Amino acid sequence: MENQQQPSHRAFLSQTGKLDTAWAVVGTAGSSAMAATVRTSRPAGEAGASTLSDRHYHLSGVRLEEGFEYDGETVIGTRTALYTLEIKDGKIAALHAAQAELADGLPRYQAHGLLLLPAMRDMHIHLDKTFYGGPWQAPHARHGETIMDMIALEQKLLPKLLPTSQQRAEGLIALLQSKGSTVARSHCNIDPVSGLKSLEHLQRALENHRSDFACEIVAFPQHGLLHSKVDGLMREAIGMGAHHVGGLDPTNVDGAMEKSLDAMFQIALDTGKGVDIHLHETGPAGVAALNYMVDTVEGNAALKGKVTISHAFALATLSPQALAETAARFAAQGITIASTVPIGSPMMPLPQLSEKGVFVMTGTDSVIDHWSPFGSGDMLEKANRYAQLYGGSDEFHLSRSLSIATGGVLPLDDGGKRSWPKAGDDAAFTLVPACCSAEAVARLPVRAATFHQGRLVYGSVGQA
């Protein structure tokens, strides 16, 4: 399918970003987040760069976090300073103090005091099926409907979505980039209605963005691995390049928990791939599935560190002791949790999982589709929600909440020492008008520019 709409769509997003972005200068080098933030515009007459193809260049006026400020043992602020980043071949080659003499001859760009944040990671999204980019369409009423009812609805919708699925996937990629995300994990339908077409279209979309966006694909049996009899299609999808084996509610959809999970794990073992299963089930069925999966990983060394459980709502129903025991087993086997940081009761025990060493990541899930109209594609918004739900309103905890959106990458470690960026790191980051990561999480500033492998993929920077 030819993509004739995407260039204009990306140009529109870029222009929107330029209009909405307020360039920031936060005090002087070495300023504190305690000081008032001063908003300014780009200097009059200065040229801006919305494309940047150089493989070796300087980016000056970048605000980096230096450390925490304390009142006794309490973190009350964040110290920052201005730096020049030297970017070479997709990496941060060096960090230079703001006033350091720089080698002549390299192109030089200007961030004007904007704060550097790690690039965001959307680790649970469905790029292959969305209403985004088309006319508004609210989902059907869900009252009284089961997941099987939703599957039946989707079987009718897929033929209408497929003709434009590549263009809309590329539109979502542009949206994610405009929100500071350059890495994703996308689940992709493998079902009797679309066959392998959804995968083919998604792969074409990702191929068009191979230099500015990185994405893993999960072969996802949305209509049930056993229920829709797609074991063969799933194996073909892995052969076509899908990176992970997906699964879905083995009791409520497939009606045979052990048989369904065994089939999913067998594909993974046969192909050497990892697993990322949607587990929405709560109550005894969900708990039984969690226990069966960790039992399986404990019995198969080849699966250790290669299993993600998405949603995992059953964890919210466990007693504190059972949760601690389950979390310890997950951590020991490298089982990760992908959560959308849902609102509601019971609350997902995400901090408790992290405390036990379980890696927790987040994602958009649906972006304006037949499941939900609320997805924004903004991982920083997920960090904001995490902070609100789990009591992170102070400087320290706001800054820690950023971790869920960046795959664990934080500018400062818990002791206030800079851990990112450093020489040798990937040049993957976003620039925002904020004085520190705590303010960024709390106030959700616009993303002024997004970089992937040293390339400017969204927004603009000043040009010396």
Give the whole-number percent of the chain exceeding pLDDT 70. Answer: 89
Residue 234 lies in a domain: yes
Residue 106 shares a structural domain with residue 222: no
pLDDT digits (tens, 9 = 90+) for 103-156: 778 999 999 999 999 999 999 999 999 999 999 989 888 777 788 888 999 999
Residue 44 lies in a domain: yes
pLDDT digits (tens, 9 = 90+) for 78-89: 999 999 999 999
Residue 59 sits at the vertex; the CA angle it makes with 54 and 63, to the nearest 5 degrees, is 155
pLDDT score recorded for residue 220:
98
Residue 40 has pLDDT above 60, yes or no: no
Residue 137 shares a structural domain with residue 59: no
Residue 196 lies in a domain: yes
Q: Which of 322, 350, 377 is the last residue in one of the domains?
A: 377
pLDDT score recorded for residue 146:
86
Residue 392 lies in a domain: no
C-alpha span between 391 and 153 (Å, rounded): 38
The secondary structure of residue 445, as a DSSP letter, is: P
Residue 79 shares a structural domain with residue 131: no
pTM for the whole structure: 0.89
Residue 40 lies in a domain: yes
Q: What is the mean pLDDT of residues 13-41?
A: 36
Residue 437 lies in a domain: yes
Residue 411 lies in a domain: no
Helix, strand and coil content of the chain, in percent to the nearest 5, comes to 35, 25, 40
Strand partners, 426: 91
Burial of 293: CB neighbours in 10 Å, binned 0-12, 13-18, 19+: buried
How far apart, in Å, are the Cα atoms of 251 and each of 13, 254, 279, 336? Answer: 43, 6, 10, 21
pLDDT score recorded for residue 327:
98
pLDDT digits (tens, 9 = 90+) for 231-273: 999 999 999 999 999 999 999 999 999 999 999 999 999 999 9
pLDDT digits (tens, 9 = 90+) for 427-439: 999 999 999 999 9
Residue 101 shares a structural domain with residue 156: no
**Who's near 103: CB < 8 A, 6+ residues apart?**
none
Q: Tell me the torsion sign for CA atoms 178, 184, 187, 193.
A: positive
Residue 10 shares a structural domain with residue 131: no
Residue 13 has pLDDT above 70, yes or no: no
Burial of 287: CB neighbours in 10 Å, binned 0-12, 13-18, 19+: middle
Residue 110 shares a structural domain with residue 127: no
pLDDT score recorded for residue 14:
38
CA atoms within 13 A on the CB side of 437: 35
Closest CA to 254 of 284, 230, 218: 230
Residue 309 lies in a domain: yes
pLDDT band at 47 (very low <50, low <70, confident <90, very high): low
Segments forming the whole domain that contains residue 322? 121-377
Domain total for the chain?
A: 2
